[in-house]
Structure formats: C-alpha cells, structure tokens
C-alpha cells in the first residue's frame, strides 16, 4: 500500500496534480485502496474508484485534461491485469460489433429512458457534438450543427435521405420541416425509434429498428451523426461498402464521428465496461483505408474543441435535473455519469479526441462539390 501510494503520487505529480492538494484539479483521496487499485487497473481503476467514492475532485474535467496532456495514459498500462489483457486481446481477435452484438449498446445505454436523455440534451435531442460558433447556449449550438449538416449535404425538396443511426429523430424533424425532404432512419435502440416516430408523426419519415447491415434501397443523400463509433474497425469496409451501394451515383454522404489522431487497439476499458460496450474510436488512417476505391474524400472538417463545450453543457443539465431521476437511479449511477461526462470533456480539451465531419462522393460521381462552412 505504501509503495503504491508513493508511485501513483509521483506519477500524478508529473501531470501537475497533487494528491490532497489545494488546487481545484487536485485529487482528494478518501480511501487508501485508491492507490493500489488505480496502479493495477489504470483508466478502469480511476473510473471505478471514483464511482465507489474513493476519491473526489472539484474540477474532474480539468484533472483529466492535465493527466492526458502529460501523456501518462501512454506510460502506464497494466498488462499484468488479466481482465484488462483480455479486453485488449478480445478487441484484436474478436468482432465486438458483429450483428449478434449490435443491439447490446442500445439496450445498455440508449434505452436508459427518453425522459432521462431529454432532461440532459437540447430540444432536438442531439446526443452528438454541437457547433458552438456564434452560439450562446447548447440549444443554439445544436441547431447550428443540424443546419450545417443540411447545408453540407445541399439538401433540396424531395431528396430521399437515409440516416444511419437516427437517434431520437431530431435531425429528421429539422431537415423535413426546413428542407422538405423524404426521410428514412434506422437505429438499434427501441426507445429511440418509439420516440422518433412520435416526434415526426405526420411527416414524411420512416423509422425502423434495424442494424445498418440490413438496410435496403438507394438514396440521394446519406448522413450518419455520432453512430460510426459503434461500427468497429473490423466492420469499416462493410459499413462503407453498404453506404456506397445505397448512395445514388451523384449523391452525397456526410459522416459525423469522433476520431483519434492515433490508431488504437481498443477503446478505453472503463468506457467499454460502463458506458458504450463494444465502442471504438477510428483514426484518420482507418477511415481513409476503408473508403479507398469507393469514395472521393471531398471535405474533412475538424471541430473537436466543440465537444468539450457540449459535454460541459450536458453535465450542467444532468446535474441540474438529477432530482427528477433519483427514484430511478442511485448515487452509484450519478457518480458513473458524472465521471463519464467530465472525463470525456477533459479528453477533448486535451485534444486527445477529435470530431470530424467528412463529406464523401462515389468514385464515379461527376458532380463538383464545394465545401461549406457557416
């Protein structure tokens, strides 16, 4: 215990974080088991000990940012930990995002309840990065994002648009009402589909509980906002092959996804275990390799810093509305989601994560694409 405390305290000091210090980003330890558990499990250990109340931090988001900027995440990997080793080996050898596993994340995460998500998100229920240029609040920033997507796709009346990962139908409602499109959306979450159908009742929208590999038909435009993180690197070729087959010759495909500047073996083990099972963050190389031969890469827009602002706004909403959900969720859940939202904000603030909007056209397309920025 004493050795673990000395080692971890020294490691944290390299990131400018003092154990039981007086800065808002310093860690306050409440249980001495914190040291050995974190050393043995690293990122998984940080999250699990926070959930158990072993430590606290006034500015958890800033602490994580400093930790990641110091690159301690690269220096310490507990390869002697059998569960963690199994996690990385599974990611290497298994298809964690197969059709059989595809609906798992919907059941675990997206089906937590529409009331829960509506209290945290904006009126369009956008559970993806907002665009904060000229925005004063989350609602404006998410509407900016929606309109930017529509403008980048050059939507026009009667376009038939496919959305892969339709969420709660916010994009569908916005695009149908403003641009008079026809819409088809799919999701692996029953709760999302039910909500989207009610939201868009009476509009030209069709929502189906379906894995992206079962989509049929041809579309003028395809959009996927915040769903690609659930596809997995072993399925990228199939995902883009499907998009190619479903897109008309001169159509446009917009992909909105979190990305990483480094190709990785697996997702963060704590995020995998508690938040997004079987998720995976792509790198530049993994995307470009998967689209080669089928698509022109017309535009690549990175606005990852906006995710920091988005996550902090979600956290404020989550915290301010927590009293509404205390009968359904316990304090363990609160600390889990607090850690999730604030640690992810720190992740983007440290620029370890990016947010990309990518425009693709089919290799045989004859249309000239002009990049759009608001």
Q: Which residues are catalytic?
A: 344
How many degrees, rounded to 5, is the angle at CA 224 between CA 220 and CA 228? 140
Contacts of range 19-26, beta carbons closer than 8 Å, 24 or more positions apart? 24/57, 24/58, 24/59, 24/62, 25/57, 25/58, 25/59, 25/62, 25/63, 25/66, 26/57, 26/63
| Bridge partners (DSSP) listed for residue 360 | 253, 297
Q: What is the DSSP letter of 186?
A: E
Asked if 224 and 149 count as a contact pair (C-beta separation under 8 A), the reply is no
User: Which residues neighbour 25 within 8 Å (Cβ) at sequence distance 6 or greater?
Assistant: 16, 17, 57, 58, 59, 62, 63, 66
Asked if 266 and 280 count as a contact pair (C-beta separation under 8 A), the reply is yes
How many residues are given for the chain?
A: 374
**Cα–Cα separations (whole angstroms), residue 47 to 110, 152, 273, 280:** 20, 38, 10, 18
CA dist., res. 352 & res. 342, Å (int): 14
Asked if 210 and 162 count as a contact pair (C-beta separation under 8 A), the reply is no
With CA atoms as reference, report the closest residue to 108 among 353, 281, 327, 336: 336
CA dist., res. 145 & res. 226, Å (int): 12
User: What are φ and ψ of residue 365, in 5° steps?
Assistant: -65, 140
Cβ-based neighbour number of residue 266 at 10 Å? 19
């Amino acid at each position: 215990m004493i050795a673990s405390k000395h080692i971890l305290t020294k490691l944290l000091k390299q990131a400018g974080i003092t154990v039981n210090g007086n800065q808002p980003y310093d860690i306050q330890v409440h249980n001495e088991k914190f040291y050995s558990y974190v050393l043995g499990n690293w990122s998984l250990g940080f999250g699990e000990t926070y959930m158990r109340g072993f430590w606290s931090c006034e500015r958890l988001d800033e602490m994580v940012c400093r930790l990641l900027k110091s690159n301690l995440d690269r220096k310490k990997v507990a390869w002697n930990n059998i569960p963690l080793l199994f996690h990385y080996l599974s990611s290497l050898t298994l298809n964690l995002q197969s059709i059989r596993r595809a609906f798992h994340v919907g059941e675990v995460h997206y089906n937590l309840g529409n009331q829960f998500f509506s209290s945290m998100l904006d009126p369009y229920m956008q559970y993806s990065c907002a665009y904060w240029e000229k925005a004063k609040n989350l609602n404006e920033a998410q509407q900016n994002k929606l309109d930017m997507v529509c403008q980048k796709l050059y939507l026009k009346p009667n376009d038939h648009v496919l959305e892969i990962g339709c969420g709660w139908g916010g994009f569908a409602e916005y695009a149908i009402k403003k641009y008079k499109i026809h819409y088809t959306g799919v999701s692996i979450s029953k709760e999302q589909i039910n909500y989207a159908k009610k939201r868009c009742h009476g509009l030209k929208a069709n929502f189906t509980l379906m894995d992206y590999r079962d989509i049929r038909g041809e579309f003028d435009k395809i959009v996927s906002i915040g769903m690609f993180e659930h596809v997995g690197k072993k399925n990228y070729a199939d995902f883009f092959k499907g998009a190619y087959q479903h897109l008309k010759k001169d159509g446009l495909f917009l992909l909105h996804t979190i990305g990483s500047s480094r190709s990785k073996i697996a997702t963060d083990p704590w995020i995998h275990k508690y938040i997004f099972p079987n998720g995976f963050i792509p790198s530049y190389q993994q995307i470009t390799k998967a689209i080669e031969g089928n698509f022109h890469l017309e535009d690549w827009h990175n606005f990852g810093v906006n995710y920091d602002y988005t996550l902090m706004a979600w956290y404020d909403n989550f915290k301010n509305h927590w009293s509404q959900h205390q009968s359904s969720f316990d304090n363990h859940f609160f600390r889990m989601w607090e850690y999730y939202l604030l640690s992810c904000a720190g992740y983007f603030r440290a620029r370890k994560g990016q947010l990309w909007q990518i425009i693709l056209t089919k290799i045989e397309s004859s249309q000239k694409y002009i990049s759009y920025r608001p």
